[in-house]
Amino acid sequence: MDPVGTARTLAAARFPGARAAILGGSANTAHRTSFSDLDIVVFLDGPPAPFRETTEHDSLPVEWFCHTAESYDDFVERETASRRSPLLHLCGEGVVLLDRDGLGHRTREEARARLRAGPPVLSPAELEDRRYGLTGQVDDLAGADDPDELVFIADRLMIAVAELILAVRRRWRSHGKWLFRRLREADPQISRDLLLGYRQVVCQGDPALLRQVATGVLDDVGGRLSEGYRRAAPR
């Protein structure tokens, strides 16, 4: 299957009045598998956008992310504030399928620039929050005496360590496979050590390496934080 050709045909047929459409995700990359769906961002002039919908074409899932230019900007601003922007990655790393008035290519170039610039810098308070949370998770790992609980603690700890590394290095965070891919790109050695530590927890019940990796990451950003940590309740 030609993912670009298929996506272009589907977008033109489903949304003949679309201003632009962009194919993102794994479908047109080296990460593509037999289970990869088509992630298509479509720009419409107005309602029913914005909406998201999943359809199927020849047993292939198609994810539609439909926006107006204004709703796209609003979503991207909110996503950027959280340091995770699926829309920026879909558009900035994608292929323009349709472009009636230049919006598609302009959006892709602007998305690429924002991706290169990276997410916002962690504030001192945000860094303290993450240090505090990770300190508690490291202690939970050290104190766990139930092998089943240990696996769940290790899972949360691995994700927290990965997200902290990406945040302090101003790299975009993500979920699942994309979280690992971005961590591996940011620091191949830590990604290997973190995975090995997690596997040792799952396969051997041994948390020593995972605890060592997490503690090392904590030390690099200011160390453990527990006593003295305080936050006022939100208004």
Quick: pLDDT tens for 199-234: 999 999 999 999 999 999 999 999 999 999 999 998
Q: What is the pLDDT of residue 59?
A: 84
* Cα-only R_g, the chain: 21
Q: What is the pLDDT of residue 33?
A: 61
Write out pLDDT tens, residues 45-99. Answer: 999 999 999 999 988 899 999 999 999 999 999 999 999 999 999 999 999 999 9
Q: Is the model's pLDDT at 9 over the cut of 70?
A: yes
Q: Is the model's pLDDT at 30 over the cut of 70?
A: no
What 77-84 contacts at long range (C-beta under 8 Å, 24+ apart), as own/partner pairs, is: 80/114, 80/119, 80/120, 81/120, 83/119, 83/120, 83/166, 83/167, 83/172, 83/173, 84/119, 84/172, 84/173, 84/174, 84/175
Poorest-pLDDT segment among 35-39, 68-72, 191-195, 199-203? 35-39
Q: What is the pLDDT of residue 12?
A: 96
Average pLDDT value over all residues in the chain: 94
Q: What angle do CA 79, 11, 58 make, to 5 degrees?
A: 105
Helix (H) or strand (E) holding 24: strand 20-24
**Residue 197 or 32, more confident:** 197
pTM, entire model: 0.88
Tokens (6 digits) for 60: 């292939």
Q: What is the pLDDT of residue 108?
A: 97
Q: Is the model's pLDDT at 32 over the cut of 70?
A: no
Q: What is the pLDDT of residue 42?
A: 98
Find, among 74, 78, 105, 76, the residue nearest to 88 by Cα: 76
What 108-117 contacts at long range (C-beta under 8 Å, 24+ apart), as own/partner pairs, is: 108/22, 111/76, 111/87, 114/76, 114/80, 114/85, 114/88, 115/88, 115/89, 115/172
Q: What is the pLDDT of residue 235?
A: 84
Q: Is the model's pLDDT at 144 over the cut of 70?
A: yes
Q: What is the pLDDT of residue 27?
A: 74
